[in-house]
A = this chain, B = another copy of it.
Amino acid sequence: MGKDFLYNEIAGNIASKIKSGVLKAGERLPSVRGLSREHGISINTAKRIFIELEAQSLIESKPQSGYFVSSLNYLKLPLPEASRPLPVANNTEPNELISIVYANMGRNDLTQFSLGVPSGNLLPLAKLKKEIVLATRELKEGGTEYEPLQGNVKLRRMVSARSLAWKGNLKESDLITTNGCMNALALVLMALTKRGDTIALESPCYSGILQLAVSLGLNVLEIATHPVTGIDIDALKKLLPKINVCLLVPNFNTPLGYCMPDENKREIVALLSKHNIPLIEDDTYGDIHFGSERPKCCKSFDTDGNVLWCGSVSKTLAPGYRVGWVAPGKYKDQVLKLKLVHCLSSTSVIHEAVGNFLMAGRYENHLRHFRKTLQENYQHYALAIADHFPQGTKISQPQGGLALWVEFPKEIDTTELYNYTIKKHISIAPGRMFTLQNQFQNCMRLCIGLPWADDLRLKLKQLGNLAKMIG
């Protein structure tokens, strides 16, 4: 534990010096031996730290010369500003915009930067098919029967086994499977809230979560959020008396892609527990970390069952399978009862297939490649953006996940931009979709889960040119 702690501290320290500009692009770092001496750590630990920082593209090694702060162009782009939503609920849904963007999502003739899911090219399609075929053969009655109410046993067993990696230490019996993560969020919100209650969310926030909250009659309080560390705890504290429930995506959320630091997770969990406000944690992106370690969750710090941890394979394996889950802590009975009346069962065959896929160790293998691809994509995108987007453009530095958040200079309205891009067969997700307040008009989300190719670089260039044109 002590060693791991030191390792994380030193690596984190260097990373933040690079991100904040204390260490400049091109600057030489101490040698492995030097770092080891300086902190009293082993040579191996020092090496691991450099490898980790290199994996994050923060540093690069030059043969015979040692490690240097990465000089990749994209690091020169500044971060978007922390959001500053109004401290009151003000639910104005951008319905028309969302309808238009969603309607275009099924089109094959578009470059779908607006997607919230990975392209099929990045998914292990053949192996998944094989598992489905096997499941129809091996399941009793070919999977035509209902599942047990808590859901597929293999899937729950594997999700619980995998929770050891982030110190969730869930048991099979702690988990309830659902039809994807949105279904999990819907069930837990129905279990915990009534119309007129107030929910605290990140800002910007995934539009599906905003729509769900509004459809359940909740008042939405958007909380100020920093693009690297996430929700502003002080802002949250001030609004606590108004809040009935809090829903966060602390690991690689869409659209910002930050990873909330462990100490923040710990503090938020304690704070909400103390005030008896349930914390719903959407950890759908937790497995898509660009760094070498799977980040902890808020659930890792949950001592009294107040955190309802939700996840799925919709962003890593198959959106269309509808396989998700929730560990609802002390709210298990209520959630189970709602699952019974709203869903009864999930699709037996598909949940069994995913359970088997996980048991065969295929998931870890896929994730390794998948994460690497996404991280490389992020770098490709960032370079193209640095080259082709208007002066003054800022972008997020996602530490995982599928999204890149772009902040244009104020005068560029992305809803207007959308009208131009779509004519060029390019679809984006305008920033206005990610809030119920009139904000983020100069922002947009880009999906980095598309297979990289020269054509994609060209499309980003076109996008940049259109933005310059209307700017």
Binding site for B on A (CB under 8 A): 102, 106, 117, 120, 123, 125-126, 128-129, 132-133, 136-137, 140-149, 179-180, 182-183, 186, 194-195, 208, 211-212, 215, 217, 317-322, 337-338, 340-350
Judging by beta carbons under 8 Å apart, are B141 and A215 in contact? no
Give the Cβ gap from A158 to chain B, nearest Cβ, in Å: 19
Contact A141 B129 (CB under 8 A): no
Taken together as a complex, chains A and B put the C-alpha atoms of A410 and B82 apart, in Å, by 71
Q: How far is the CA of A144 from the CA of B316 in the complex (A)?
A: 10
A132 touches B195 (CB 8 A): no
Q: Give Cα distance in the complex from A142 to B347, angstroms.
A: 16
> Residue of B at shortest CB range from A214?
B341
6 CB-based A-B contacts, threshold 8 Å: A117-B146, A120-B140, A129-B142, A186-B341, A322-B343, A342-B342
Q: Considering the chains assembled together, what is the distance between the CA atoms of A142 and B343 in angstroms?
A: 24
Contact A144 B320 (CB under 8 A): yes
How far does the alpha carbon of A318 sit from the alpha carbon of B347 in the complex, in Å?
A: 10
- Contact of B337 with A349 in the complex, beta carbons under 8 Å: no
Quick check: A186 and B342 within 8 Å, CB to CB? yes
* A144 and B132 contact, CB distance less than 8 A: no
A436 → chain B closest CB, angstroms: 14
Contact assessment for A144 and B349 in the assembled complex, using a CB-CB cutoff below 8 Å: no
Q: Please give the distance in Å from A177's CB to the nearest CB on chain B.
A: 12
In the assembled complex, which residues on chain B have CB atoms less than 8 Å from the CB atom of A211? 337, 340-341
| Most central of A132, A183, A342, A345 by chain B CB within 10 Å | A342
**Inside 8 A of A318's CB, which chain B residues have their CB?**
142-144
A179 to B338, CA, bound (A): 15
A338 CB contacts on chain B under 8 angstroms: 215
Chain B residues contacting A140 (CB-CB under 8 Å) are 120
| Residue among A144, A318, A345 with max Cβ neighbours from chain B (10 Å) | A144
Q: How far is the CB of A358 from chain B (nearest CB, A)?
A: 16
* Docked-complex contact B182 and A337, CB < 8 angstroms: no
Cα–Cα distance between A212 and B186 once the two chains are bound (Å):
15
Inter-chain contacts of A145 with B (CB < 8 A) = 117, 120, 319-320
Hey, which chain B residues are within 8 Å of A133, CB to CB?
132-133, 136
- Cβ–Cβ contact A147 & B346, under 8 A: no
User: Contact at A125–B102, with CB atoms within 8 Å?
Assistant: no
Chain B residues, CB < 8 A from A348: 320-321
Who on chain B is nearest to A317 by CB? Answer: B144
CA distance A347 to B353 in the complex (A): 13
Chain B residues positioned under 8 Å from A340 (CB to CB): 102, 208, 211
Q: Chain B residues with Cβ under 8 A from A321's Cβ?
A: 143-144, 347-349
Q: What distance in Å separates the Cβ of A390 from its nearest Cβ neighbour in chain B?
A: 33
State how many angstroms separate the Cβ of A332 from the closest Cβ of chain B: 14
Residues of B within 8 A of A132 (CB): 132-133, 136, 349
> Are B215 and A337 closer than 8 Å at their CB atoms?
yes
- Chain B residues with CB below 8 A from A212, complex form: 341-342
* Extra pairs beyond A146-B319, A212-B342, A322-B347 (12, CB < 8 Å): A102-B340, A117-B145, A125-B142, A128-B142, A145-B320, A147-B320, A179-B179, A180-B345, A183-B344, A194-B217, A215-B337, A322-B345
Known: A143-B320, A321-B144. A183 touches B347 (CB 8 A): no
Closest to A337 in B: B215
Is the CB–CB distance between A120 and B136 below 8 Å? Answer: no
A137 nearest in chain B by CB position: B129
**In the complex, which of the residues B117, B136, B346 contacts A322, with contact meaning CB atoms closer than 8 Å?**
B346
- Whether the pair A102, B149 counts as a contact (CB closer than 8 A) is yes
The minimal Cβ–Cβ distance linking A145 to chain B, given in whole angstroms, is: 5
CA distance A41 to B318 in the complex (A): 60
Output the nearest chain B residue to A132 by Cβ-Cβ distance.
B136
